[in-house]
Amino acid sequence: MRLLSAVDTMFYRMESDRTPMHIGALLTFRLPDDAGPDYVRTLYNAFAELSFLPFPFDSEVVDGLLPEWRTVRPDPEYHVRLSALPYPGSEADLGTLVARLHAHPLDMRRPLWEAHFIEGLSDGRFAMYFKAHHCAVDGMGAINTIKKWLSTEPDRYVPLSEAGPKAEVPDRNRIASVAYELWNRTTDGVSGSAELVKSLVGMIGGDNSHVGATLGTPRAPFNATLTPQRRLAVEVLELGRLKAIAKATETTVNDVSLAVCGAALRRYLDEQGELPDETLTASVPVGWERDEDTLNAAAGFVCPLATTESDPLQRLAVINASTTRGKKELLAMSPNALNHYTLMGLLPLTIGQKTGALTKIPPLFNLTVSNVVLTREPLYLGGAQLELIAPVSFLCDGYGLNITLVGYTDKVILGFVGCRDTMPHLQRLAVCSREALDELEQAAA
């Protein structure tokens, strides 16, 4: 058995019926030309063997004052499932099914993940939806896990991972190992907190301070009490277009992506007659180097999305100035200090979610916008080519919208997750993102 880290424990404690804390991914594949009628079932059966389960997918959480991972033998019939859409299944049918699967909480008494194979898609395709609790994996960790299942070679198949589970600490060493872990956390806490205090002093003042952006965050319509059900939307943008804009404006692809999101939100809320007078802000996660035992390794800064700005180039300039400073300040800290910075940010969210206070206090930011890269090469699962991977993230109470971007081959896929009742027209927001890219591209030209 091993203790959950302090950050992992925060995500574990934030779980509620209205706000399940798992993240997910929807992958669509094209069947090989020679695929038989049992092709997907064969893949499902091979995956369900669970031949090599890496930590922590081979473990359940034992709750307590200090939650612990305990190695178990997962039930393949429970964790790996086969479903089918009425043929020919459309994108809308798939989205509806995955939205319902994503709204359903994980069983916290079992290993915290599920994999769903979905047949019946039109045009010779099938899908896979995978979800895992945020205490077990973050966005970059999920991407790394998915990459282990896939191959650049069409004829190679890896059941789950080539990494075997780590040996469990024997019970006789449990007290000693827990004491050793607590001692390490204490010493890390002292040094990390001291470094963090010094860094925070420099973050507060000056232009483009993300601390200042936090204090000026308005309340958007989706910063409200959440209900359990979710809506999903997906938009695919061309990476080449984003790169060309970044080069022309001397910014980054991530800056351009944030500017597209900001413009899309401005257009969407303006159409609803609900655009705030102050700019919306986004929490932007930044990952840092992790070891194999670290499940969550990201800290975030708050970036203004310049939704009050009508000029797309000026919006991009505001975002670039904020991200340049924010990333520089975070990456100047050690991993230990960044871990404590993450804890400092999660603490009010955890307490607020458990007490119901998050919808009563001013929001710290309006939404989260994160960005990860899968690969620039085409990938395959047992000969089936991966066409698209759509990220499906989590929502906290009072924060009813999340946008996650994944780079794959020559595309950037935007995955929108919203509360069903506070974001009733989520697909329109996805359409607005493409319109925003067109607008920014014309301005940059």
Q: Please write the tens of the pLDDT for every residue from 262-289.
A: 999 999 999 999 999 999 999 999 887 7
- Residues whose CB falls within 8 Å of the CB of residue 279, separated by 6 or more in sequence, listed in order: 216, 218, 304, 305, 306, 307, 308, 309
For residues 211 and 216, give the distance between their C-alpha atoms in angstroms, rounded to a whole number: 9
**Residue percentage of the chain with pLDDT more than 70:** 90
Which of 49, 73, 310 has its CA nearest to residue 159? 49
For residues 75 and 111, give the distance between their C-alpha atoms in angstroms, rounded to a whole number: 9
Residue 115: pLDDT over 50: yes
Beta strands in 209-348 (DSSP E): 230-238, 281-287, 298-304
Q: What does the pLDDT read at residue 186? A: 55
Q: What does the pLDDT read at residue 131? A: 97
Q: What does the pLDDT read at residue 188? A: 61
- Please, which pLDDT band fits residue 201 given cuts at 50, 70 and 90? low
- Kindly report which listed range (36-45, 200-209, 246-255) carries the lowest average pLDDT score: 200-209
Residue 258: pLDDT over 90: yes
- Please, which pLDDT band fits residue 292 given cuts at 50, 70 and 90? low
Q: What does the pLDDT read at residue 344? A: 87
Query: Tens digit of pLDDT for each residue in 126-142?
Result: 999 999 999 999 999 89
**Listed ranges 1-10, 153-162, 259-268, 336-345; the one with the highest mean pLDDT:** 259-268
Q: What does the pLDDT read at residue 183? A: 43
**Listed ranges 2-6, 114-118, 152-156, 186-190; the one with the highest mean pLDDT:** 114-118
Query: Tens digit of pLDDT for each residue in 309-340?
Result: 999 999 999 999 999 999 998 888 888 888 88
Q: Which of 79, 133, 134, 340 is catalytic?
A: 134
DSSP state for residue 349 in the 8-state scheme? H
Q: What does the pLDDT read at residue 341? A: 87
Domains by residue range for the chain, with CATH = 2-149 (3.30.559.10), 207-374+410-444 (3.30.559.30)
For residues 336 and 193, give the distance between their C-alpha atoms in angstroms, rounded to a whole number: 9
Q: What does the pLDDT read at residue 173? A: 60
Greater model confidence, 290 or 247:
247
Q: What does pTM read for this prediction?
A: 0.91
Residue 160: pLDDT over 60: no
Query: Tens digit of pLDDT for each residue in 422-440?
Result: 998 999 999 999 999 999 9
Q: What does the pLDDT read at residue 309? A: 96
Start-to-end CA span in the chain (Å): 58
Helix, strand, coil distribution of the chain in percent, nearest 5: 40, 25, 35
Greater model confidence, 98 or 216:
98
Beta strands in 90-224 (DSSP E): 113-121, 125-133
* The residue type at 261: C
Q: What does the pLDDT read at residue 220? A: 96
Q: What does the pLDDT read at residue 293? A: 66
Which of 436, 139, 131 has its CA nearest to residue 283? 139
**Residue percentage of the chain with pLDDT more than 90:** 69
22 is catalytic: no
Q: What does the pLDDT read at residue 168? A: 45
Six token digits for residue 347:
């603490």
